[in-house]
Amino acid sequence: MRGVMTVRDALALAEESGMDLVEISPAADPPVCKVLDYGKYKFEMQKKAAEARKKQKVVELKEVKLRPGIDDHDFDIKMKNARSFLEAGDKVKITLRFRGREMAHQDIAQAVLKRVREGLDDIGKVVSEPSFEGRQIIMIIAQK
């Protein structure tokens, strides 16, 4: 801690010690500077940033496609896959696709989505309520 000094004095002090004058906090009044080796400082900051990137988890959006007339066994397999995606920390996009005259039987589709919601209720929560996009209904579930 040298206290408040002029820029010329601070640069002279850094030159004497064979190091660099690095501005740490430019928004402060007066700006905060340190006398240190800039190459070493830059290397340390890169190491910290790399360590932070390594620790963070990227949440992916996995998709499970269903049909209104899905059979019980097929449904169970789809729910098993969705459960494993949620346990891995990913979000799951449930897509219920209609073909032909299935659009007339939307009550069946709502029942399938209700089964999905109840089946994954213990591990996930609905982030995006079921919504129509063309000939399909989409619902997004994330881990609790």
The third-level CATH classification (topology) of the domain covering 61-143 is Translation Initiation Factor IF3 (3.30.110)
The third-level CATH classification (topology) of the domain covering 7-55 is Ubiquitin-like (UB roll) (3.10.20)
Q: Where are the domains of the chain?
A: 7-55, 61-143
CA dist list (Å): 49 to 25, 34, 45, 60, 69 = 18, 21, 6, 22, 50
At position 144, the amino acid (one-letter code) is: K
91-97 and 61-66 beta bridge pairing: parallel
pTM above 0.85, yes or no: no
- Tens of pLDDT along the chain (144 residues) come to 788 888 899 999 999 999 999 888 888 888 899 999 989 989 999 999 999 888 887 778 999 999 999 999 999 999 999 999 999 989 999 999 999 888 888 889 999 999 999 999 999 999 999 999 889 999 999 998
